[in-house]
Structures are given as structure tokens and as C-alpha cells.
Amino acid sequence: MAGEFGTTSWSTVAAARDPDRATAEKALNRLCARYWRPLYVYFRHRGHSQEDAADLTQELFTQLLERGFPAQLSRSGGRLRSFLLACAENLTRDMWEKQTTKKRGAGSAILPLDLLEGEASMFEGVSASSDPRERFDRVWAETLLANVLKRVEHELEATGRQALFQYLRDFLATGTSEEEYETVGVTLGISEGAVRVAVHRLRRRFGKLLREEVGETVECPEDLDAELHYLVEMVTK
């Protein structure tokens, strides 16, 4: 476990701290592209307009690129989720304290934000909660799961098994009955036993990639299981 963790954990954040700006910017772009949606939803639930939420999201990552990730990031519990949320809260507070005529993030946008995608996330899950922090955590969890699902899909596509993925992806989150195994087997032209083996392998691969994905967002191996547990809690409540 420790060896596996060492190759994946915190590597993106470490690269974002690199003194070489090109390396740092590439790593930060990766973080931004993957996790801008939770931040955008957080700002929207704090009452900001679509345009302001997009500007604030861009500004947050722009500041991180300019200032770098602080060495004291461990004070956030070694979790990227907690650190980014703290940055969002600080940025919101600073916005009210500092009046400026300069457009936030003007000329320094890191990536184009898909506002339609961001707005859709506003109303997914936790429908009874309007707590911005809870909405941030929920979208964060959903984004991680979506990233893992996409990785699994790309792996199967690379080996010509697109059809298998399309029929088995729903088995990752739900229980399966004898009839479902049989139905999928008939559709794909394979035996029921082959379907069972494929589902087992898919679940095992998904679990491994999920640990890797979450491992990228925590600093210590000891934090990984707790963060995984919290992720599951967020998407099942």
C-alpha cells in the first residue's frame, strides 16, 4: 500500500510548487481542469452571479500560480479539498475587503470554464442543502468519481471493448441480479459466467483507480482511507 501511494500521492501539488513556472503552470492547469466545478458551485451558493463565480474561480487558480502552493499546506490536514475550500473562503472575504476597478483574472484566465456544466452541478445531489461548503464537498466527490469512470472507459476503449463498458458501467454502483447477468450476456453474445468475471474485474479496476485518484489529493497515506470514506458518504447521503 505504501509503495503504491508513494507513486501517486500529492504529486500534482508537488509539481505545482516547482520553481520552474512551465512545470508549475502545467500542474496547476491539471488541477484547475479537474476541480474547478466544486469551486464554481461554492461561489454560486455564496450568492455570486455566474460571471462573478467564474471570475473568482479563475482568480483563485491565478493566485496559486503566482504565489505557489504554500509549504504549510499540511495545516489544511494534508487534503487538497480542505486547502482549496479555505482558499475559496479567503478569496470571498478578500473580495469584500478590497475594492478594485481591475477585472478579476483579466488577461490571466487559466482555462475556459463551461458555465453550463457548472450550472448543472448547482442542482445535482444534496438537493435539500444550501450550505456552500457541503455543496463544494458533494461536487468534489462527484468530480473525482467522474474522473475515475472516464479513466476506466478510456482503458476499455483502447482495447476495443467500448460495448462492454457501456453495458457494465451501471454495475459499478448497483447490485446485480441473475437476470441482469443473463440479459447482458445474451446482448453481448457471451456467457453469464463471462459477464460475472467482467463485472468483477471492472469493479476491482475502478477501486484501484479511485484510490489513485483520491491519493492525488491527500498528503499522507494515513489520510487516504478517511478521504475515501468521506467521498462515499458525500455521494450516498
Q: How many domains are there within the chain?
A: 1
- pLDDT exceeds cutoff 50 at 111: yes
For residue 48, what pLDDT band results from cuts at 50, 70 and 90? confident
Other CB atoms within 10 Å distance of the CB of residue 59: 20
Its domain, for residue 228, covers 2-236
pLDDT at position 229, please? 93
Q: Cell 454495475 appears where?
A: 171
Higher pLDDT, 2 or 188: 188
The three cell numbers of residue 174 are: 448497483
pLDDT at position 51, please? 87
For residue 105, what pLDDT band results from cuts at 50, 70 and 90? very low
- pLDDT exceeds cutoff 70 at 136: yes
**If you average pLDDT over every residue of the chain, what do you get?**
78
115-141 b/e (C-beta count within 10 Å ≥ 16 → b): eeebeebeeebbeeeeebebbbbbbbb
Higher pLDDT, 229 or 182: 229
